Amino acid sequence: MLTSLVVVLGLLAAVLVVAACGDQRRRWWKRHAWRYRDPQACEPSDAALVAWRVAKLVAAAVLVAGTFVVNGPVRSAFAYDQRDVWAVAVQAAARLNGRTQDNITEVALTQRARRVVADAAGDRARFKEGTGTFMEDRPKYSLKYSVNTFEITNADGDHPVCLTVFADRLPESTAEVAKITTETTMTEGRC
């Protein structure tokens, strides 16, 4: 939304600059002279034509300044900070943690995790999907395989948080029904 506003302001400024560079007297004769019975008597003075030109250039300068204001401080005010990006990761982790599903494949689990992270990120944060890795599970001294990693950042790519999704087969699984649960970890920084 802000990008389209910057483009519109820039285009309006360009139109005003082009209008200010043209012949003001000829433009008056094309657009306004027809309204008067004696247009030569009502023709604007040279000072009035210069004033119109200056007004158009000032309006263009204001629009250009507006593009810098919208693109700078306003955009950064809308950008997520570290706390907001962390909140997105916490929201995604809360929706993924502890869900038990029967006979779910790794592909389906990855798609579900991707959907959950995308919903949590919305349009003010972005995420980059990584691949699964083996990680050491300290309390059990064993290796765990993560299904996927998601690097969540704000829209500008700052304040990364790494969300890692693990799948675990529960002991109450049988040969016919595999009960799979998901668990997540979050760390600040890139994945």
Residue 166 contacts by C-beta under 8 Å, 6 or more apart in sequence? 135, 144, 145, 146, 147, 182, 183, 184, 185
Token match 């700078």: residue? Answer: 72
186-to-78, 152, 159, 160, 164 alpha-carbon distances in Å: 24, 10, 13, 11, 6
The reply to whether 44 and 123 lie within a common domain is no
Stretch 16-40: mean pLDDT: 87
pLDDT tens, residue by residue, 52-109: 999 999 999 999 888 887 777 666 656 677 788 888 889 999 988 877 888 777 778 8
Q: Supply the pTM of this predicted model.
A: 0.54
User: Which of the listed residues 78, 102, 135 is the one where a domain comes to its end?
Assistant: 78
Task: State the residue range of the domain holding 46.
Answer: 2-78
The reply to whether 45 and 136 lie within a common domain is no
